[in-house]
Each structure stands twice: as structure tokens, then as C-alpha cells.
Structure 1
Amino acid sequence: MQAITEFYPQLSRSHKVVVTMHQKPDGDAMGAALGLYHFLIQLGQEVTVISPTNWADFLKWMPGCDKVIDFEAHREKAARIISTAEVIYCADFNALHRTKNLQHALRNSKAVKVLIDHHELPEAHEFSYGISNPYKSSTCEMVYDFIVEAGYTANINLDIAACLYTGVMTDTGSFRFPSTTASVHKMVAHFKELGLNHTVIHEHIYDNFLENRLRFIGNALLNKLDVLYEYNTAMMAIPKSDLIKFDIKTGDTEGLVNYLLSIEGIKLGALLIDRDEERRWSFRSKGNFDVNAFARLHFEGGGHKNAAGGRSSDTLENNVKHFKAVLKQYEEQLNN
């Protein structure tokens, strides 16, 4: 993988472009992809944004989201577009398997693949150009840097600002995580100078759910919360029956794991959800406990030091037993 700076001269040439992201895209993934879309169309590129799967309803307000193609819903159309693409931007993922069923089309494509991502251990051989910086707050911040450093600051408009603000806001926990550096606030200041209304974006993301989600969260906190004080750990295991009972859709469990870290003394929060084809883990931590390493070692996952995910094909019950068993290895670290 060559440095992304080597790709800058190609921005002035017309290309057929695809922008994609990881499955079940969150605010950062969708924000980065749409931010790139609004930037590249100004350069005369022919741009299509393709998501590997569907996405949360609270993201559908974003400028350009109505043009995004859901690969699982429109496989033939999306595959045809990918097969003729000359450049594919890969935002907020660094391994092709993170795109689920889309990975085969990406791997077989002859297009130049450009990586912009902030997760650890990228599969660099899969990409032609790119940048991978786990110290950045979000992929959206990296897209901002990409535009500015390539010499196109003047092209940043309110559509780009709204998309990128969404990603950096969500990935920094509304600017409270340690990744919120001075450069993040400088970027946001630039967006505000352009006239960005950040209050509306917060309302779209955090105040746009149905009643059933609030009842689901209440049920989870009341009946599924397991606090393991001997390990300074809290966990919740959500069965498929609860998802059906409360009619939970994509995005409705977003942020649920963060409630666990609000308990005094808790250093590790773990959320397990029983999905159709597999069980999905979300891990959050405080301080020096590295959930990225924890998820990679025990749950086929990864991510960031204080925020990571994992997966398992085993049952919900066996996952809970396994989690509690491996916690014993970390008792000293979690109590230090």
C-alpha cells in the first residue's frame, strides 16, 4: 500500500468511483463515505456510494443518504457498478471481511483501492493507496485531513461538514473520549464558520427513536445487567427473543454498551447480542484496559484500545460462560 499522498495527483482526473464502508455502517462510516461523495462529485467524478448492508434510520437524514445503494438489497446492480469502477474508496474498515458479502466483489475488482481508516492492523496488501491512523478520532476526521492536505479546503461545503461532523461527534462520544484532540476542535470550528447547525445533527442522531427502543433499554438494564464487581466489569447479554419482542431494528442498540461504563468503578463494559447468523460483542473500557487486544484474542474481533467489537458462532449462553472464564486472566489488570 502506497502512501495516500501519492494518490493526490489522481484527484484531478475523471474516474468512475465507488465509495464503500463496513457492514451495518455507523455515523462515522456513513459520514466518511458521504463526505467523500460530496467532495468527489465537485471534482467531476462519477460517484456511487455502496453500503454492504442496511443502516440505521437515524442516519437517513444525512445529505446524499437517499442515493446510497444497499448491496444486500440490490446485489446485481451494486456488483455491476463495482465491476466497472476505476477507483474504490474504502472508509472506516481495513479488512475486506468487514464488508460481509460485499468482500468478494471488492476483492475481484481491478479498481485502484484507496484506504482511509483509523483502526489497527490494516490488511495493507488489499489496498493500492491509503492511510491508517489509529490515533485519529474518527475516519471522518481523516477524510477532512485528506481533503485539506490534497489542497481542496475551499471545496468543503455544508453538506460535507454535516456528514463529517456526524462521524466525529459519534465516534468521540460527543467529544468526551480521549481521541478528541485539538485538531478535532479546529475542524469543528471550521464547520461552524461555514454555518453548520450542530444542534440539528445532535437531534437527528440522539432524539429520533421510537418508544419501543426506550422500553427495550429499560428492560435490558433491569433484567439483563450483570455487574461483576470482582472484575470491575459489567455485561449484558440480549437474547433474540428480546429483539423480536421490542421490534428492534438496525441502530436501535447503538450506545447501549456505554451505559455499563456509567457505573462507578466499572472499567470494562461488554454487550452481547444474539443476531440471526451470529452473536455480536461490543466492548468498551476506561483507562489502560485494551479491549482491542481482548477482542482479537478471545472473540474474533478488534477495533480500538477503548472500543472494540467481536463475534462468535457459538450460542449466547456459551459466549457468556466463555467471557466470564477469560475474565479471570485479567483480574489483576482490571483491579489495578
Structure 2
Amino acid sequence: MNKIVEEIRVLLSSPQNIVITHHYNADADALGSSLALFHYLVSRGHKCSVVSPNSMPDFLQWMPAAYKVLKFDDQKNEVVKAIDKAKIIFCLDFNNFSRTKGLAPYLQKSSAKKILIDHHLNPEKTFDIGISKPSKSSTCEIIYDLINDLDDNGMIHIDIAQCLYAGAMTDTGNFRFSNTTSSVHLMVADLIKKGLNPSLVSQAIFDNYQENRLRFLGYILTDKMLLFPEYHSAIIAVSQEELNRYKINNGETEGIVNYPLSIKNIIFSAFISERDNEIRMSFRSKGDFNVNLFARNYFNGGGHLNASGGRSEESIADTIKNIKEALIDNKKILKQCYLDLQ
């Protein structure tokens, strides 16, 4: 890893044109890591553009410099120009170019040096330089480590601190998930020393929704949540019509998949949503039930031990049926993982 850091140090030793990008449907870790790195690199004299494959959810627009982010779906020409000029492209919080959707071909054909910084399992070997640390809580934590490894901890100002905290906080489920390590707590302690107010970031993310989102949450928990006690599992599925009825935008379903895990005896949760003519799935688990393997084996996806995603080309009804069949296949494993938690 020291060799990789030294390679990056050399690349950043003189001012460069740099693009920073992340996965489609950015969450707080994707956008937070991108903007934290943006602020750091600008402070070092580099010319940087943050490029997002599509528009970001409203509850993340508070992040410092979020208004400067170029959105590929709305500003394609500006994005392509920025990529064409770039000498370095930082690829954050994804490890497969397909995660950037329509942006992928432009990133792949670019002659710029491509640097992967990510914490998901099984990265593609298509990047020039790669920092892949699945043991880390978030990509934001890896960015924090990189700044430290470059001997620039003193350059972490309040804007960087807020962005880093947002990603680490959300990717650890408010520091509840098993990826909440001593290193992430040490990072947060350092950020607080630098002036971070954690409660303000928490309020900006979690207390910033419209009324319709809360009513939507009530509707799906009452009418759409299916429980399967024999598999210690739950499934929530919502259609495009239901999302439209409650005016739910991209990103506003973030975190809903975690709600069933608060039910006693439930250790696996799936959230299925229909949007833009495709079926997307989020999987979460407690204990040792590996939803990364679950997603890879059944739903063309992947991620982490306790958090992953997948996709389906079938209807919602057929997708629910397929998940039920996968639960049957994994009944013994789910039972043992449940018993291990008792």
C-alpha cells in the first residue's frame, strides 16, 4: 500500500487537471468522499471537477460545493469536456465501470490515469492504480487515510470534515453496523477536534425530508412489508406507480431496507423498487449471513458482507418469487446465522 500511496504522491506533485467521479445514484459516501477529495485537491492547487452519473438526491445538496458537481444526465457536454481534459480520474465508491451507467464508456476510453478508491469486494482489474479496502467502513474513511498517508492531515478543514463524516456515518448505519471499527471512531474524534459538529451533519441528512417521504414510509411499512419468520427474513417491494404517487425521488428510499432488521428475529431484509424500467434491489443482514454472496449468486449484484445490491429484468412479482426461492435455498444458513446471534 505504501507503494501505491507513493505513486499517487508523485502524480499529485504538480498541478493537474483532475476528474473525480462515483457510482450512479450517489449516496452520502459516494458524494461525501468525492467532495472531500475535491476540497483537498483544490487546496493543493489542482484543477478539479466532480462528475456524477446522474442527479443527486435533495438531502445531500447541503454538502459544501455540491452545487459545483457536474451531472452527466443534465450536463453531458460539460462532463465529456472535463473527462477529455483530465490527466487523472479518481473513481470513488465503485469498483466496476458499469456502476456509472451511461458515463462508463467515456471513463473507459479516457487516456487519463484512473485511480480506484473503494471499499467493496471483488474490484475489476481495469484501473491503473487501486486502493481497495473492504475492511474499511466507507470510502470516506479511505480518503481520510489517504490524506494522512500523504502527510496532509493539517489540510483537513471543516468542509472536508463534514463530507467525510457524512459518508462514514451513513455507511455504518449511524455507527451501528459491524463495519464500525476503532479506526472510524478515531477518524471521527479527529474531525471533531478540527471543528466538526456531528449533530448538524446528522440533521442535514436525516431531518431534511418532505412530508411525502414520511407518509410513504408509513404506507410501505403498513401495507408493503412481507415477513417470513421461518427464514428470519423480510421483503419490501414498491412499484414505479407507488413511487410516483408519493413523489419519491432518487435517493429518497435510502435506508428503508434497514427498517425490518429492527424486528426481533429478522436477520435479512430485501428492498425492491421499480424505477426507469428496471428492478433494483438492496439487501441487508445481521450477523454472518453474507448478502454479498446472496446478491452475486442470485441477482447479478454484490457489495459487502451485510450490505449489497442486485438487479432483475423480471417483474416485481417474479422478483419477489425469485427471492423467496433463494430464501428456501438458504434456509439452513439463515437459521444458523440467527442462532449464532442468540
Question: How far 1:290 moved relative to its partner?
Answer: 0.2
What amino acid is the match of 1:57? Answer: D
Matching residue of 2:65: 64
8 Å Cα contact 1:118/1:134 also seen in 2? yes
Question: How far 1:275 moved relative to its partner?
Answer: 1.1
What amino acid is the match of 1:13? Answer: S
CA distance in 1, matches of 2:227, 2:289: 17
Question: How far 1:277 moved relative to its partner?
Answer: 2.2
With 174-183 and 41-50 compared, the bigger mean Cα shift is at: 174-183
CA distance in 2, matches of 1:196, 1:179: 22
Matching residue of 1:202: 202
Matching residue of 1:187: 187
1:156-171 equivalences under 5 Å are 156-171=156-171
TM-score (norm 1): 0.98
CA distance in 1, matches of 2:260, 2:182: 28
With 100-109 and 236-245 compared, the bigger mean Cα shift is at: 236-245
8 Å Cα contact 2:24/2:99 also seen in 1? yes
CA distance in 2, matches of 1:162, 1:149: 20
Q: Deviation per CA, 1:89-147: give whole Å up to 9, x if none.
A: 001000000001000000010000111100000012x2111210100000000000000
Question: How far 1:3 moved relative to its partner?
Answer: 2.9
Question: How far 1:309 moved relative to its partner?
Answer: 0.5
8 Å Cα contact 1:119/1:132 also seen in 2? yes
Q: Deviation per CA, 1:254-300: give whole Å up to 9, x if none.
A: 11100010110011100100112210000000111000010011111
SS at match of 2:12: helix
Flag structure 1 segments of 5+ consecutive residues without an equivalent.
Answer: none
With 1-10 and 146-155 compared, the bigger mean Cα shift is at: 1-10
**Alignment of 1:30 onto 2:24:** no
CA distance in 1, matches of 2:6, 2:207: 39
**Alignment of 1:75 onto 2:76:** yes
CA distance in 2, matches of 1:237, 1:83: 41
Matching residue of 2:15: 14
8 Å Cα contact 1:4/1:114 also seen in 2? no
Question: How far 1:5 moved relative to its partner?
Answer: 3.6
Question: How far 1:9 moved relative to its partner?
Answer: 2.0
Matching residue of 2:110: 109
Q: Judging changes above 3 Å, is the alpha-carbon distance between structure 1 residues 5 and 121 closer, same or farther for their aligned structure 2 residues?
A: farther
What amino acid is the match of 2:66? Answer: C
CA distance in 1, matches of 2:185, 2:306: 21
How many residues are matched?
335
Percent of pairs with identical residues: 45
With 2-11 and 240-249 compared, the bigger mean Cα shift is at: 2-11
8 Å Cα contact 2:26/2:52 also seen in 1? yes
Question: How far 1:314 moved relative to its partner?
Answer: 1.1
What amino acid is the match of 2:121? Answer: E
Matching residue of 2:50: 49
Question: How far 1:226 moved relative to its partner?
Answer: 0.5
**Alignment of 1:276 onto 2:276:** yes
CA distance in 2, matches of 1:275, 1:139: 26
8 Å Cα contact 2:57/2:250 also seen in 1? yes
Matching residue of 2:339: none
8 Å Cα contact 1:4/1:130 also seen in 2? no
SS at match of 1:73: coil
